[in-house]
Each structure stands twice: as structure tokens, then as C-alpha cells.
Amino acid sequence: MLVRVIGIAAVVMFSALKTNAMENRYALLVGANHGDSGETPLRYALDDIQRMGETLRRLGGFLPDNMVILEEPSADRVRDALARLNARIRSEQSAQTNTLLMVFYSGHADALSLHLKGTHLPWDELRNQTAGSSATARILVVDACRSGQATRVKGTKLTEPFALPALDAPAPEGFAVLSSTTAGESAQESDELGSSFFTHHFLAALHGVADDNEDGNVTLAEAFQYASDRTVASTASTMAGLQHPTYFYDLKGRADLVLSRPGQGEKLGGLKLSGSGQYLIRENGPHGALALEANIRNEPRTAWLKPGRYFIQRRLPERFFEGHVTLKDVGVIDLAQIDMRTIEYAQLARKGGQVRKAFSVGMWAGAETPVLPGFSFPWTTKASFAWDMSAVTLDANLALMRSGHDGEALDSTLTGIAAAIGARKVFDVGAFALSGGLKIGGVYFDQRYSGKRLAPPRKRLAPIVDALVRSDVHLPWGFFVGLESTLRVSYLRQKTGLFSVEARTPVQGIFLAGIGKSW
Amino acid sequence: MKTLNTKILTVVGVTLIAAACGDDLTDKTYQGEPRFVVNGVVQSLDASTATVDTFVGVVWYNFAKNGDTISTQVASVSDASFPSEFTLALYDEPASEDLNDYSDAERGTRGYVGTGFIVAFDDLDGDGSLTTSGEMEPAPGDDLLRGMAPGHIAIFARDVNETLRTLLAQENMLIVNPEAMVPGFNLARTVCAEGDEAFDMLEIVPNESVPLESMEYIDNNDSLCLNFT
């Protein structure tokens, strides 16, 4: 608790770091997919440091010449690179120049050291070498298993609100460590994001979505807070479990450290994310690379991206929206002004999107051809349940039909209760959903008679196979109306004479109209 | 894969068929469950005079009332060749007016017993039942009676009780073995009376095959015992 208070106090006391001509920023970016021989190789560590490098260059004021990117290095090579960078900082530093050193590591680690292609670099050594740099401010960002060892503190959430930085406030001095996990946790990668969770969200933060006070600057605190919250939320449902980023600050000053200035960097287009929800922004189209994933709660945020065409998905609990937008190198496009298509979760599930649930219920009514000769056309009503998945839609139905006939000797009524399960393939065509499929099940028949003759009631269970085609029209708020035609084959035994019985497979047509709701 | 799919389809098919169980359903032609079935053999019939349906039926004959009342329950029969088996299903009880009333307050009896001749006829008027004036010679409008069971009678008993059985046994009024009579339909065989003054009688028998002969055969055969009414 004491450590947490100290950390919070340090954050509140941050002073602004003005990335102006008097500030030099240096970065050492280290990525290692391969750790020790027994460790499963990572997939995205190298991609993560490349993205980090591009983001720092575009948005963070880091000159390319001031960034060192090491892919799959040994421990000695990291030591050497950091020593050389520190030496350069010392040589280029002057009393009038503020300097920032950022060391970013993505790879394997354990409680004692980083694992670098079979070699080990102790945490303490990395911390000391970073903290001991002559740069005015030193930041160590570690996205690795058990990287909480680097922070040596257990704080996982920053206090708020932050003090607004004064433009003329002195730059922060000191040392800060951000880690993607607590000491005992595993850092996780996501195939869907194509990145580790923490780095992905940290980069999104630097692109502007963490700019809580909308001053055009993303501070260290804002970036960490956003990345931390999103990492916890994103890993809540993973098999490896929750991942809690941690921090350690020992910075002096009255304003926060500005990590990126999204609206002021290299020519970028602004995309104002208006309205709450989860945003997935992909390059070019629905299957393009994921450029940004952001979660907006209440206040709008502006993400700054390189010019180009983007495919936007905005997810809400009950539905999602999608559309395209083209960003230019100047200006901000407000998504609220873009005409985005509304898509229900059932459609999203059918498109292969990940949704927690996508199901629908419906009520149907109509008529069917009689299953027994001489009977009237039965009316029928049906309750349906459907579970939409990417490959098929699973159906379960419960239906009630009733028919009858008036005879010279006897009148008869036939009541059927049908239960069936099956699968449909659904094709979304604009506001329509066309589908076809098969179901199997059974009908419980109850046949009763009225008249003076001896005719006890008859009860029978008949198996059925249904082939159906269906057309739905999507309505607002998840409602839909539909038409369904079914060809049903039953197997039953029918009394055809005084002592004769035949096995029959009558074929029926069933025509239904219905209304339902999707979730 | 093809073999696997075939196996899966076979399992599904067998499962579905195995799931089929219960009573046999009926369509509009269903008449109900027969209350009694007479099985027999048509040995011969009088010649037909028209191309019409030939039926076997039970003609309920209320001999105890003034003016005979007749009603018929029928089944189709093929007369293409003889002997021809027939099955006559009786779905309805005979109407009350077709039954002989054995109720007698003084004797303490209460019951109704009907007697039905098993006949074959051509349904000339197409009404599905035997139309007859009841005269010995056919009258215009009558259906053509082509045959009859010379040795069997259908009996319907309502309200069978011990008092009625005792009455019938003591006085030999109709049935020689009334203790075998059950409520509802019974099949009886004719029993020839001994002596010219006595009536022939009926013996309740288990369901057995009923021979049906032409009217010509019956008219020319003096050994038949049909004088029980």
C-alpha cells in the first residue's frame, strides 16, 4: 500500500516533457520470439517492436537515427547496444537539452532474467543499465512473462485525475518502468490482434485513443492506464487468465511525461471515435491488418492513423456497425457523420466474427398439407430457437398442428406435436437472410374420434426429416420477419383395412410466416 | 469417407425408424373398431340380374313386434368365384326397435335380444342396405336376395342378466344354452326341433366359419332348421 501511494504521488508530481527542438528522444527496441530451448516460440514479438518503432517515429518524436531495433539478439548484444546508446546520450547531452531514453522489450522472461535466444539478461542488470543512463528521463517498458519482476511494485492502477501539465513546467526527470504483467503472470499474445495484448493496447493508446483530456498529447500515465485497462479486459476470457500490467515511477516534476503527440506528428489522419463501444479498425477491408482496436466508454477519442482506407467495426452489446472511411493526411473525420451499416450479431457470427452469443427465437404460424388422406389442411404454429455460428445455424423447433375430418361414421381430429433439430446455411444478402437446411425429429400424434362407434384414441410417435428454405428480413432492434417452406417426410403406420396396416412415408409441404428477435 | 457417411446415414435412418412406435393412425375411410366380426364362406349364390354391388349383411328381424322391422349391416363380397370367403364387420349395435323385448314385469325379467339373418344380396337400389317388402315373392323395388346362412344366426343381447337367462332356459323360448350368451353380439347355430309342432332353436357357439348358400339351395333343402321364430 505504501509503495502504491508513493507511486501515485510520483505520478501526480510529473512535469511536462516538451518534445521540442530542445529535447532528444532515444529508443532501444528489443524483440525476441525465441527464448530458452524449452520455451514455445512467440509469434509477434518482432512485429511488435517494428510497430512500436514506427509509432514512436510517427507520433512520438523519435528520430530514426535515434532508434536501435534489435531482433532476436543475445544478452550480450543487448548489453552492448544499451551501453553504446547510453554513451551516445552522454555525448550529445547538454545543459539545455532534455533527453528521453525508452527501452522496450518484447519476448520471453522469467522471474530472474530476460530470455534471449538461449542467453539470459538479468532483470536487475537491465533495470540498472536503463536507470543509470544519463538521459533526463528513462522509461523501461517490458512486455514479457513475469515482467512484473522489473517493476518490483504491485501497483496496477493509476490514480486519477492527473494534474494538467503546465506548458512551461520543467520536464520530468527520473526513471519509470511499465510492465505487461505482475510478477507471477504470463504475458499473452493474440492471433486475432496479431500482437501481444499489452503492446497492442499500448500502441493504440499512443495513437490517440488514450488522450483522456483531449489536449492532443498522450502522456505516460494516460497510455499506461488505457493499456492496463484494455489488457485486463482483453485477457479476461483467455485460457491463460487475467493479465495485470504494473508500473513503477520515480519521476520528478509537476506534469506527466508526454509519450506521443498524435495530432502534431507526421502527417496523419484523425478518426474521431464518437460513441461508446469497441472499435476494430482494419486496413483496406474486413480482412485487412488490424490497425487499431480501441474501447471507448463515454467521451469521444480521436485515433491518428496514416492516410488510407480503413474498415471500421463498432461493437455494442446488442449489435454492431461497420463501414469504410478514407483518412487523408490532414483533418479529422468524425465517425458519427459516416453512414455505417447496422449488423446484428447473428450476421456477425455467420461472417465468422467473434461474439459471445448470437441466437434468435421466433414464433411462426401457417398451414401444411395433411399427413393423412382425407384430412383438412392443418393449421400449424411453431416456436423456433436458432444459434448462429460461422459455419451453420443450428435450429431447434417445437411445433403444434391440428387437423380433422368429418366422416359418415366418425369424425376425427389429429393433433401433432413436432420437435426437430437441424442446421441451416444462411446467406446474408443486404437486409435479407436466405437459408436452407435439414432437420430431423419426431411428431407425437394424438388422434381422437367422435361418433357412436367404437374408436379408441390413437397415439403414435413418427420420425420426420425436414428440408427447408427460409427467407428473413432484418428489422430494427434485432427483430425479423420470415417465410419458411418445408418439405417433410414422415414415417408412420396407417390402418388401411379391417386387418391391414401399411407403413407409409407421406410427404408434406409446410408453409409458415413468422416473427422473431435476435440477440 | 463415403463408407463413414453411409454408416452415419444408416445409423440415423435406423434410429429414426426405431423411434416410430405407437398405434396405427387412420384416414377418412376408417369405420371404427368392429364390435363383432362374422367370418364365413359363400358356397353358392343365386344368379345375379344386374351389375351391381353384392353385399353380405346381417338383417335384424324383430319377429316379436307387429309388423317386422328390418335393418341391415353389410360388407362387400366378391361373387366372382365360389367358395368365396367373406368377413362381415359389425360396427354398430342394432337399433332398439330391431330388438325383441323380453321385459316382463310379472316375471321379473328385463332384456332385449335381437336375431339377425346373415344374407347375401344385390343392392339394386344402391342404398347400401337390404331393401325388401318382406313378402315371400320379390316386390318391385326390392333388392335381390341371393343367399343366406342356413345354419347360423347373429344374436345381439342387451341387458343380459340371470333372470333372463333362467327364463330362456326354463321355457326353451329361443336359446338352448342361454348361459353362454354374453352381452353384445353372439353367434348362434340353428338346432332342429324334435317333432313337427316345435320351433327350431338356437345354440350359442364360439365364433366359427359361417357357410352361406343360395336361396335356391335353401328353398330346395328340407333338412334346414330355420323355423325358430
User: What pLDDT shows up at residue B197?
Assistant: 61
Residues of A in contact with B73 (CB under 8 A): none
Rounded Cα–Cα distance for residues A488 and A499 (Å): 28
Please tell me which of A16-20, A69-73, A219-223, B137-141 the model is most confident about, judged by mean pLDDT.
Answer: A69-73
- Could A458 and B25 be called an inter-chain contact, meaning their C-beta atoms sit closer than 8 Å? yes
Residue B10 burial (CB count, 10 A): 10
- Could B31 and A458 be called an inter-chain contact, meaning their C-beta atoms sit closer than 8 Å? no
Residues of A in contact with B29 (CB under 8 A): 373-374, 496
Torsion of CA A159, A164, A166, A169, to 10 degrees: 10
The C-alpha angle B162, B167, B171, rounded to 5 degrees, equals: 150
Top-confidence residue, A241 or A335: A335
My answer on whether omega of the bond before A172 falls inside 30° of 0, hence cis, is: no
Whether B4 has its CB under 8 Å from any CB of chain A: the answer is no
User: What pLDDT shows up at residue B70?
Assistant: 60
User: What pLDDT shows up at residue A77?
Assistant: 94
Residues of B in contact with A374 (CB under 8 A): 27-29
CA–centroid distance for B24 within its chain: 26
CB A163 within 8 Å of CB A221: no
Bridge partners, A440 (sequence order): A421, A465
- In this complex, which of A442, A463, A494 lies closest to B25 when CB atoms are compared? A494
> Per-residue pLDDT for A101 more than 60?
yes
Distance from CA of A427 to the nearest CA of B (A): 26
CB A42 within 8 Å of CB A117: no
Bridge partners, A156 (sequence order): none
> Per-residue pLDDT for A10 more than 90?
no
Exposed e or buried b for every residue in B180-201, given b needs 16+ CB within 10 A? ebeeebbbbbbbeeeeeeeeeb
- Of all residues in chain A, what percent carry a pLDDT higher than 90? 29
* Strand ranges in A373-457 using DSSP code E only, listed in sequence order: 379-388, 393-406, 411-429, 432-450
Residues of A in contact with B90 (CB under 8 A): none
Burial (CB count <10 Å: 0-12, 13-18, 19+), residue B64: middle
Nearest alpha-carbon partner for B58 in B179, B152, B162:
B152
Minimum Cα–Cα distance from B34: chain A residue: A454
Per-residue pLDDT tens for A241-250?
677 777 777 7
pLDDT in tens, chain B (229 residues): 556 667 777 776 676 666 678 888 998 888 888 889 999 998 888 888 778 888 888 888 776 664 455 666 666 665 556 788 888 888 888 888 888 887 777 776 777 888 888 999 888 888 888 888 777 677 888 888 899 999 999 999 887 888 777 777 665 567 888 888 899 999 999 888 776 666 778 899 998 999 999 989 988 887 777 776 5
Top-confidence residue, A190 or A449: A449
Top-confidence residue, A181 or A368: A368
User: What pLDDT shows up at residue B48?
Assistant: 81
- Report the half-sphere exposure of A169 (CA within 13 A, side-chain side): 20
Query: B residues 83-112 near A, CB within 8 Å?
Result: 87, 89, 91-92
CA–centroid distance for A152 within its chain: 31
Residues of B in contact with A493 (CB under 8 A): 20, 24-25
- Could B23 and A452 be called an inter-chain contact, meaning their C-beta atoms sit closer than 8 Å? no
Rounded Cα–Cα distance for residues A105 and A72 (Å): 11
User: What pLDDT shows up at residue A388?
Assistant: 84
> Per-residue pLDDT for A396 more than 90?
yes
Q: Is the ipTM of this complex over 0.90?
A: no
User: What pLDDT shows up at residue A87?
Assistant: 92
Residues of A in contact with B92 (CB under 8 A): 452-453
User: What pLDDT shows up at residue A505?
Assistant: 92
B10 Cβ neighbours under 8 A, 6+ residues apart: none
Whether B16 has its CB under 8 Å from any CB of chain A: the answer is yes
Query: A residues 383-442 near B, CB within 8 Å?
Result: 405, 407, 409-410, 412, 414, 440, 442
Q: What global pTM score does this model have?
A: 0.58
Top-confidence residue, A281 or A110: A281
Question: In degrees rounded to 5, what are phi and psi of residue A205?
Answer: -60, -45
Three-class secondary structure of residue A463 per DSSP: strand
B184 Cβ neighbours under 8 A, 6+ residues apart: B35, B36, B93, B156, B157
Minimum Cα–Cα distance from A460: chain B residue: B22
At position B65, the amino acid (one-letter code) is K
Residues of B in contact with A440 (CB under 8 A): 12, 16
Burial (CB count <10 Å: 0-12, 13-18, 19+), residue B17: exposed
Domain annotation for chain A: domains and CATH numbers? 2-260 (3.40.50.1460), 269-339 (2.60.40.10), 359-518 (2.40.160.20)
The size of the A-B interface in CB pairs under 8 A is 98
CB A180 within 8 Å of CB A243: yes
Distance from CA of A471 to the nearest CA of B (A): 28
> Per-residue pLDDT for A85 more than 80?
yes
Minimum Cα–Cα distance from B17: chain A residue: A463
Per-residue pLDDT tens for A142-196?
888 655 554 433 233 333 322 223 334 444 568 888 887 766 666 777 777 777 8
> Per-residue pLDDT for A433 more than 50?
yes
User: What pLDDT shows up at residue B229?
Assistant: 57
> Per-residue pLDDT for A22 more than 70?
no
Average pLDDT over residues A293-297: 81
Q: Give B115-135 as a DSSP string.
A: EEEEEEEE-TT-SSS------
Minimum Cα–Cα distance from A416: chain B residue: B25
- Could A373 and B27 be called an inter-chain contact, meaning their C-beta atoms sit closer than 8 Å? yes
Rounded Cα–Cα distance for residues A48 and A29 (Å): 9
Average pLDDT over residues A232-261: 72
Rounded Cα–Cα distance for residues B112 and B38 (Å): 21
Nearest alpha-carbon partner for A335 in A265, A290, A277, A264:
A277
User: What pLDDT shows up at residue B212?
Assistant: 92
Helix (H) or strand (E) holding A305: strand A301-305
Please tell me which of A94-103, A481-490, B15-24, B190-199 the model is most confident about, judged by mean pLDDT.
Answer: A481-490
The C-alpha angle A237, A241, A247, rounded to 5 degrees, equals: 115
Residue B182, C-alpha cell as written in the block: 354374453
- In this complex, which of B23, B37, B89 lies closest to A459 when CB atoms are compared? B23
Whether B9 has its CB under 8 Å from any CB of chain A: the answer is no
- Could B20 and A495 be called an inter-chain contact, meaning their C-beta atoms sit closer than 8 Å? no
Rounded Cα–Cα distance for residues B80 and A264 (Å): 108
User: What pLDDT shows up at residue A15?
Assistant: 33
Whether B26 has its CB under 8 Å from any CB of chain A: the answer is yes
- Could A460 and B24 be called an inter-chain contact, meaning their C-beta atoms sit closer than 8 Å? yes
Whether A447 has its CB under 8 Å from any CB of chain B: the answer is yes
What average pLDDT does the structure give for chain A? 81
CB A484 within 8 Å of CB A470: yes
User: What pLDDT shows up at residue B79?
Assistant: 55
Per-residue pLDDT tens for A130-145?
888 888 889 888 888 6
Residue A501, C-alpha cell as written in the block: 396396416
User: B9: left (phi > 0), else alpha (psi -120 to 50), else beta?
Assistant: alpha
Chain B interface, mutation test: which of A411, A421, A493, A508, most B Cβ atoms within 10 Å?
A: A493
Nearest alpha-carbon partner for A337 in A364, A358, A317, A312:
A312
Helix, strand, coil share of chain A (percent; to 5): 20, 45, 35
Q: Give A175-212 as a DSSP string.
A: EEEEESS-TTPPP-EETTTTEEHHHHHHHHIIIIIT-T
Bridge partners, A445 (sequence order): A416, A460
Rounded Cα–Cα distance for residues A445 and B148 (Å): 43
Average pLDDT over residues A359-374: 92
Query: A residues 449-508 near B, CB within 8 Å?
Result: 449, 451-456, 458-463, 465, 491-496, 498-499, 501
Residues of B in contact with A449 (CB under 8 A): 32
> Per-residue pLDDT for A219 more than 50?
yes
Minimum Cα–Cα distance from A440: chain B residue: B16
Rounded Cα–Cα distance for residues A270 and B27 (Å): 74
Sheet holding A277-283, edge to edge: A290-296, A277-283, A308-315, A319-327, A341-344
